[in-house]
C-alpha cells in the first residue's frame, strides 16, 4: 500500500480532517496519562484509536518513542493489517505485535474505538495468578462478570492468534493476557483510559492484600453483581466522561505538548 508522507512545510494538523486531528489529540493525551500514572514499559505496548470517517484505519504510536513523548502529529496511521497509510516522518515504524492484537479487536468489535494494552507491574502480577482478577475492592467489583482471559502463546506475532484473542475477549472490555499483561477496550479514548486506570488500581490493591498473607474478605455475590450493575456505563454515566476534562487540565498544568 502506498504510504502518504507530509509535504514539506505542511503540518499534520493542516493535512488531516478535523475529526482525525481531534482523535490524534485525544490519543496523544491518553499516552501521556498512561505514562504519568506509571503504566508504561519503556517504548513498548500500544494504544490505538479509530480514525473517524475512515473505515479500517487506526492511529498507533511510533515504535521507538516514549509515551511521554507522544504528540498528535507523531502518531502513525495504519490499516488493520498493519500497513502504514500515513507516516508522520518520525523515523520510526510500527511494532508488529501492535496490529496483531489491536487490529484483531478493532476488526471484530465495531463498538470499540480505542484499545489499550499495558505491561504494568500490577496487571502482570494478576495475570500470573491462577485465581485471576478478584472482586475484592470496589474498583474491582465494577468489572465483576465482565473480564476475559487469554492464554499466553508467546510474543503476539502470529496472525492465527487473532481469532483466539477475539473469542476470549467476547463482549468484555477487560481481558487479562495470561503471564503477559492487560488489554482494555473503550467506546472512546476517555473510556479506555478510565477502565485501564481503575483496573490498574484494583490490581495494585489485590497484590497488596494478598501480600499481607491474611484471610481475604469477599462481599456477597449479590453485592458484587449490584456494584457491577451500578458501574455499568448505561446505568448512571459512561466511564471516563466526567473525568476526562480534568485529566486534560492536569496535563496542561504540567505543560505537556501532546496537542502539537
CATH number at residue 92: 3.40.225.10
The answer as to whether 1 is a domain residue is: no
Examine residue 260 and state whether it is found in any structural domain, yes or no.
no
* pLDDT band at residue 2 using 50, 70 and 90 as cut-offs: very low
Global pTM value: 0.92
Domain that holds residue 58: 16-250
Between 88 and 133, the higher pLDDT residue? 133
pLDDT at 192 over 70: yes
The answer to whether residue 179 is domain-embedded is yes
Sign of CA dihedral 211, 125, 34, 26: negative
15-29, 50-64, 98-112: least confidently modelled range: 98-112
Q: Using the Cα atoms of residue 146, residue 103, residue 118 and residue 21 in order, give the sign of their dihedral.
A: negative
Q: Per-residue pLDDT tens for 197-233?
A: 999 999 999 999 999 999 999 999 999 999 999 988 8
pLDDT in tens, 167-189: 999 999 999 999 999 999 999 99
More confident call, 256 vs 19: 19
Q: Which residue has the higher pLDDT, 214 or 14?
A: 214
Nearest to 98 by CA among 183, 168, 34: 183
Cell of 1: 500500500
Residue 7 inside a domain? The answer is no
State the pairing for strand pair 46-50/57-60: antiparallel
In the chain, how many domains are there?
Answer: 1
pLDDT digits (tens, 9 = 90+) for 117-160: 999 999 999 999 999 999 999 999 999 999 999 999 987 667 78
Q: Note whether residue 148 is domain-resident.
A: yes
- Residue 104 in any domain: the answer is yes
The pLDDT value recorded for residue 11 is: 84
Mean per-residue pLDDT of the chain: 91
Residue at 217 is within a domain: yes
Whether the pLDDT of residue 9 is over 70: the answer is no
* C-alpha span between 229 and 214 (Å, rounded): 29
**Does residue 220 lie within any of the structural domains?**
yes
CA separation for the pair 130, 133 (Å, rounded): 9
Within 10 Å of residue 96's Cβ, how many Cβ atoms? 14
Amino acid at each position: 500500500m502506498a504510504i502518504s508522507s507530509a509535504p514539506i512545510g505542511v503540518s499534520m494538523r493542516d493535512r488531516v480532517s478535523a475529526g482525525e486531528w481531534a482523535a490524534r489529540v485525544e490519543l496523544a493525551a491518553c499516552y501521556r496519562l498512561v505514562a504519568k500514572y506509571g503504566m508504561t514499559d519503556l517504548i513498548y505496548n500500544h494504544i490505538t484509536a479509530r480514525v473517524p470517517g475512515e473505515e479500517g484505519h487506526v492511529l498507533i504510536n511510533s515504535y521507538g518513542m516514549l509515551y511521554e513523548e507522544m504528540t498528535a502529529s507523531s502518531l502513525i496511521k495504519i490499516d488493520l493489517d498493519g500497513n502504514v497509510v500515513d507516516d508522520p516522518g518520525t523515523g520510526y515504524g510500527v511494532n508488529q505485535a501492535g496490529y496483531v492484537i489491536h487490529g484483531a479487536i478493532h476488526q471484530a468489535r465495531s463498538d470499540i474505538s480505542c484499545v489499550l494494552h499495558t505491561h504494568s507491574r500490577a496487571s502482570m502480577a494478576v495475570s500470573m495468578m491462577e485465581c485471576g482478577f478478584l472482586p475484592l475492592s470496589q474498583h474491582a467489583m465494577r468489572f465483576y462478570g465482565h473480564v476475559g482471559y487469554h492464554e499466553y502463546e508467546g510474543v503476539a506475532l502470529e496472525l492465527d492468534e487473532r481469532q483466539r484473542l477475539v473469542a476470549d475477549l467476547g463482549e468484555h472490555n477487560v481481558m487479562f493476557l495470561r503471564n503477559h499483561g492487560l488489554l482494555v477496550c473503550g467506546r472512546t479514548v476517555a473510556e479506555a483510559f478510565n477502565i485501564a486506570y481503575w483496573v490498574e488500581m484494583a490490581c495494585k490493591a489485590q497484590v497488596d492484600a494478598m501480600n499481607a498473607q491474611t484471610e481475604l474478605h469477599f462481599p456477597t455475590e449479590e453485592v458484587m453483581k449490584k456494584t457491577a450493575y451500578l458501574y455499568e456505563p448505561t446505568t448512571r454515566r459512561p466511564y471516563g466522561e466526567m473525568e476526562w476534562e480534568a485529566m486534560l487540565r492536569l496535563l496542561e498544568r504540567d505543560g505537556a505538548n501532546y496537542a502539537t
